[in-house]
Amino acid sequence: SFLSLNLGKKTKGKAEKQICQVVLDHFEKQYTAELGDVWSSVRDVLTSPWCWQHALLLNRFSQCPGLESSLAVQGYHPAFPAALPYLPAAFRCFIRRAPGRFPAQKHQPGRLKEYYLLNAASLLPVLALEVKDGEDVLDLCAAPGGKSVAILQCACPGHFHCNEYDDLRSRWLEQTIESFIPNPLTNLIMVSKLDGRQIGDLKPEFYDKVLVDAPCSNDRGWLFSGDPQQAVLRLMRRKELSSLQFQLLRSAIKALRPGGSLVYSTCTLSKAENSDVISLILDSCRNVMPVDISEMARGVSQEFTFFSGTQQHELLVLPEKGRAWGPMYVAKLKKMSST
């Protein structure tokens, strides 16, 4: 979902990015079957980058007097209502109905950024995770780092492990942390480049909370993949993603302490990578229970549109005009005993 931000930048003043027809045809077939009537309005938003919106997550570690009032003048309002089951006071995110883009801040070594631009739906997994001060937290697939930064806006973990297997993305993650998190606090953060499928065996029952923001079909990004060959290859390998996601989840469950909880998220609408993966985990791991997140979903229903065909432990954000957030799938699980 973060890749969509770069799109906005590149399309301004240049030729618009082209829709990749082979991907659109594939989505058309799959999502008409899976989502029914709502797919056509979702498709209209996904294929129109000029109607995409961006949220600003304020950085509590960087004082910027006047930013909130200047946002208010420009029509921004808080994205999340105070009545949510979990909304730490320091967690401040602003959105507005109109599309368009707030200027991004450049990375400057030694200087903290004041805000992070992102798809507001990507904060839902963080709010579902409900991290509290002192907890040991693992962000299993952490790059580019937006969710890691968001977790640190919520609480101060005892130990925070941010992992990213991909080399290039791992450097991006380190830069994000450097841009948003002040020095003494960065000592609590361990950044690793491990294969996420192995962390459960390396650190069994070590964490209170685990976020698995899994590699997935990035619907927004894939629709604009400029290279048709690459797109065809992606679509062919798409079937392998659910098996990787399943293995990452298995590893995450091993890494969780009994009583700990896990949030799984993707930025795709694909049932095979969302509900199906979670169903498979619930069927095959006897020590895991679904956690009801419908109260959080109800609490944010003013700003987000959800697919009605999900269960209480999951939600799927559908982009629509004026609320162009998502796609974002979120599911929450809890580990019972260690057997």
The answer, yes or no, to whether the previous bond of 327 is cis (omega within 30 of 0) is yes
Amino acid at site 250: R
User: Per the domain annotation, does 14 fall within a domain?
Assistant: no
User: Per the domain annotation, does 228 fall within a domain?
Assistant: yes
- State the average pLDDT over residues 50-71: 93
- 94-97 contact pairs (CB < 8 A, 24+): 94/55, 94/56, 94/58, 94/68, 95/53, 95/55, 95/56, 95/120, 95/303, 96/53, 97/53, 97/322, 97/323
The domain tally of the chain equals 1
Residues 301, 317: contact at Cβ < 8 Å? no
pLDDT, residue 1, reads 39
CA pair distance 115, 286, nearest whole angstrom: 41
- For residue 53, CA distances in Å to 101, 207, 295 come to 7, 34, 25
Residue pLDDT, tens place only, 273-291: 999 999 999 999 999 999 9
154 is in an annotated binding site: no
- State the average pLDDT over residues 16-22: 87
Q: What percent of the chain has pLDDT over 90?
A: 85
Q: Is the dihedral of CA 284, 285, 289, 293 positive or negative?
A: negative
144 is in an annotated binding site: yes
- Which SS3 state, helix, strand or coil, does residue 196 take? helix
Token digits for 308? Answer: 């009605």
- State the average pLDDT over residues 62-73: 91
pLDDT, residue 166, reads 94
141 is in an annotated binding site: yes
User: Per the domain annotation, does 94 fall within a domain?
Assistant: no
Token digits for 252? Answer: 């995450």
162 is in an annotated binding site: no
User: Per the domain annotation, does 106 fall within a domain?
Assistant: no
- For residue 328, CA distances in Å to 124, 175, 249, 271 come to 8, 24, 17, 12
What's the domain range around 274? 21-53+120-335
- Which SS3 state, helix, strand or coil, does residue 102 take? coil
Torsions phi, psi of 93, nearest 5? -130, 135
What does the mean pLDDT of the chain come to?
Answer: 93
Strand partners, 93: 57
164 is in an annotated binding site: yes
What is the DSSP code string of 282-333? HHH-TTEEE---HHHHHHTTTT--B-TT--TTEEEE--BTTB----EEEEEE
User: Per the domain annotation, does 209 fall within a domain?
Assistant: yes
User: Per the domain annotation, does 65 fall within a domain?
Assistant: no
Token digits for 253? Answer: 């469950």
Q: Does residue 6 carry a pLDDT above 50?
A: no
- For residue 155, CA distances in Å to 25, 79, 83, 301 come to 43, 19, 18, 24
CATH number for the domain spanning 164: value is: 3.40.50.150
334 is in an annotated binding site: no
Token digits for 89? Answer: 């006071």
209 is in an annotated binding site: no
- State the average pLDDT over residues 8-21: 62
147 is in an annotated binding site: yes
User: Per the domain annotation, does 115 fall within a domain?
Assistant: no
pLDDT, residue 4, reads 40
Name the pairing type of β-strands 159-163 and 136-139: parallel
- Which SS3 state, helix, strand or coil, does residue 187 take? coil
CA pair distance 108, 113, nearest whole angstrom: 8
Please name the residue that has the structure tokens 């969710």.
147
User: Per the domain annotation, does 207 fall within a domain?
Assistant: yes
pLDDT, residue 225, reads 84
Segment among 37-41, 79-83, 247-251 with least mean pLDDT: 79-83
Q: What percent of the chain has pLDDT over 70?
A: 95
Q: Which residues are catalytic?
A: 267
Residue pLDDT, tens place only, 291-322: 999 999 999 999 999 999 999 999 999 999 99
